[in-house]
Chain A
């Protein structure tokens, strides 16, 4: 048992964040401002996601934390430890067992199910930020549904590279009409957001914004009629489990140009390897 309040944050803060979450669920894709707190980690390391997780966590939850698909990298290990210490909840690496998943930059390969909550860490919640720097103007553009500029960016991609060269944080339109930044997940993962049975929550700590997708929400990646959305992946198969349809990481193995592709989702890869063995 620890001296921390359950899940680190005080109850007033959790209530404030839960109010923001309810509003975000009610208006899918809309960025709700919230009073982001200082967390015992630097901005950019998932302070938004951690606050959302802390506010949704209950003692019965089983928590899984992913960093770039992996359960064993710094960010995942430390955030998992953080909640083990401050909330004393059970943790896991297995998607089907987890009730709450906090993730950075990936959506698990294993399909999510109804009743699960997935929390995304978001560095920049505003999809229009690099096209229109004024926050006052981007808010107006959201409220008026003026998203022509988003397509100008995709147009520029095609004109310069022959195809849409945006490969992560690929903008998507939610059924409510809002265009959202799905956080820096590879565009390979965008289709998994669409009609997902899980509740999807997005927290941006530094930018003080929360947005959300209720279960079974339509999420369509933006594209052109003659350049349709393509959820691309590296052409190859996982060297460990042999998967031909998971998202792959390229790993350099020596100084002589040796390399291999392995699944970015370690839980998916490990359970496939076990099943095969």
Chain B
């Protein structure tokens, strides 16, 4: 099986400071990769480089796209990259306000990607929006409400629906459960797990919450000061951490 994403030597500096340095890994179809580390460890920089929001100073990102085969995301023209990111990639932001149009109804938010790829049938767009709202457990009668009228958890679920409506191959998630209370977090994780399995999604999840990675991720990268200090299968790394920083991270989790 070919990897869906081959990352090699990604480096991004902020002046003299290092955002992330020489990061390489492969991601296979259907696999979920967790990136953990404390604030400032470079995990968001790495994710933004992968998702095309930041341009890395060095490295290659080979993506196995449905439409064009394997291509280097950094070599694509802006137009190609934008088309790709509307159809095959998705980005779930930590704050739903960054990923949603707050002034547009829930249905319009979900439908935007469909209209962006050329769908011009109102009835069909609405039907798909409804079916996605149902999948993320948003009541159908809220379809014409604006996200600003939704709770935080609902906004986050709406953002997920909006991103997954075009059946992307690869989803980037930045702290998808950040800022939600635990019971809402649990349901969101449940939902994400179901969707990943059902749709065969590959995903890269950035989080500082080890419980989230344990539930979602098959493999993890542990980052510190812009470097990957440890990587491996999730359970293996979390149950038997080798690097002192990983040990500290695992030991710091509060036990309820």
Contact residues on A (Cβ < 8 Å of other chain), bracket = 10 to 19
Question: Which 6 pairs, one residue from A and one from B, show the smallest C-beta to C-beta distance?
Answer: A148-B116, A151-B115, A224-B122, A148-B115, A225-B121, A144-B79
A144 to B101, CA, bound (A): 20
- Set of chain B residues within 8 Å of A158, measured between Cβ atoms: 122
A217 to B254, CA, bound (A): 68
Beta-carbon contacts under 8 Å, A220-236 to B: 223-227
Whether A226 contacts B116 in the complex (CB less than 8 A), given A152-B108, A156-B108, comes out as: no
Closest chain B residue to A141, Cβ basis:
B82
A146 to B107, CA, bound (A): 19
- Set of chain B residues within 8 Å of A156, measured between Cβ atoms: 104-105, 108
A160 to B108, CA, bound (A): 11
Whole-angstrom distance between the Cβ of B166 and the nearest chain A Cβ = 11
Q: How many A-B residue pairs have CB under 8 A?
A: 51
Closest chain B residue to A140, Cβ basis:
B78
Beta-carbon contacts under 8 Å, A136-156 to B: 140, 144, 146, 148-149, 151-152, 155-156
**Are B82 and A149 in contact, CB atoms less than 8 angstroms apart?**
no
**Are A155 and B122 in contact, CB atoms less than 8 angstroms apart?**
yes
Whole-angstrom distance between the Cβ of B178 and the nearest chain A Cβ = 26
A226 to B78, CA, bound (A): 32
A7 to B156, CA, bound (A): 59
Closest chain B residue to A223, Cβ basis:
B120
- Set of chain A residues within 8 Å of B126, measured between Cβ atoms: 159
- Set of chain A residues within 8 Å of B105, measured between Cβ atoms: 156, 159-160
Residue in contact with B111 in the complex, picked from A140, A155, A160, A226, CB distance below 8 Å: A155
User: A interface vs B, CB < 8 Å?
Assistant: 140, 144, 146, 148-149, 151-152, 155-156, 158-160, 223-227
Main secondary structure of the interface of A (DSSP, over half): helix
- Set of chain A residues within 8 Å of B143, measured between Cβ atoms: 159
**Are A152 and B121 in contact, CB atoms less than 8 angstroms apart?**
no
User: B interface vs A, CB < 8 Å?
Assistant: 78-79, 82, 101, 104-105, 107-108, 111-113, 115-117, 120-123, 125-126, 143-144
5 residue pairs of the A-B complex, CB under 8 angstroms, read A144-B79, A148-B113, A148-B117, A152-B108, A225-B120
**Are B144 and A160 in contact, CB atoms less than 8 angstroms apart?**
yes
- Set of chain A residues within 8 Å of B115, measured between Cβ atoms: 148-149, 151-152, 155
**Are B108 and A144 in contact, CB atoms less than 8 angstroms apart?**
no
- Set of chain B residues within 8 Å of A224, measured between Cβ atoms: 120-122
A223 to B120, CA, bound (A): 8
**Are B117 and A155 in contact, CB atoms less than 8 angstroms apart?**
no
Residue in contact with A148 in the complex, picked from B112, B122, B123, B144, CB distance below 8 Å: B112
Whole-angstrom distance between the Cβ of A222 and the nearest chain B Cβ = 9
Whole-angstrom distance between the Cβ of A55 and the nearest chain B Cβ = 35
- Set of chain B residues within 8 Å of A152, measured between Cβ atoms: 101, 104, 108, 111-112, 115
Whole-angstrom distance between the Cβ of B118 and the nearest chain A Cβ = 8
Closest chain A residue to B121, Cβ basis:
A225
Closest chain B residue to A151, Cβ basis:
B115
**Are A226 and B112 in contact, CB atoms less than 8 angstroms apart?**
no
Closest chain B residue to A155, Cβ basis:
B108
**Are B107 and A151 in contact, CB atoms less than 8 angstroms apart?**
no
Residue in contact with B107 in the complex, picked from A140, A144, A159, A226, CB distance below 8 Å: A159
A149 to B111, CA, bound (A): 10
A156 to B125, CA, bound (A): 12
Residue in contact with A226 in the complex, picked from B101, B113, B121, B144, CB distance below 8 Å: B121
Whole-angstrom distance between the Cβ of A136 and the nearest chain B Cβ = 13
Apart from A146-B116, A159-B107, A159-B143: 13 A-B pairs, beta carbons within 8 A: A144-B79, A148-B115, A148-B116, A152-B101, A152-B115, A158-B122, A159-B108, A159-B126, A223-B120, A224-B120, A224-B121, A224-B122, A226-B123
A253 to B105, CA, bound (A): 41
Whole-angstrom distance between the Cβ of B213 and the nearest chain A Cβ = 34
**Are A144 and B112 in contact, CB atoms less than 8 angstroms apart?**
no
Whether A144 contacts B78 in the complex (CB less than 8 A), given A152-B104, A155-B108, A159-B108, comes out as: yes
Whole-angstrom distance between the Cβ of A66 and the nearest chain B Cβ = 34
Residue in contact with A146 in the complex, picked from B82, B111, B144, CB distance below 8 Å: B82
**Are A144 and B111 in contact, CB atoms less than 8 angstroms apart?**
no
**Are B82 and A155 in contact, CB atoms less than 8 angstroms apart?**
no
A149 to B108, CA, bound (A): 10
Whether A159 contacts B144 in the complex (CB less than 8 A), given A148-B117, A152-B104, A226-B123, comes out as: yes
A149 to B78, CA, bound (A): 18
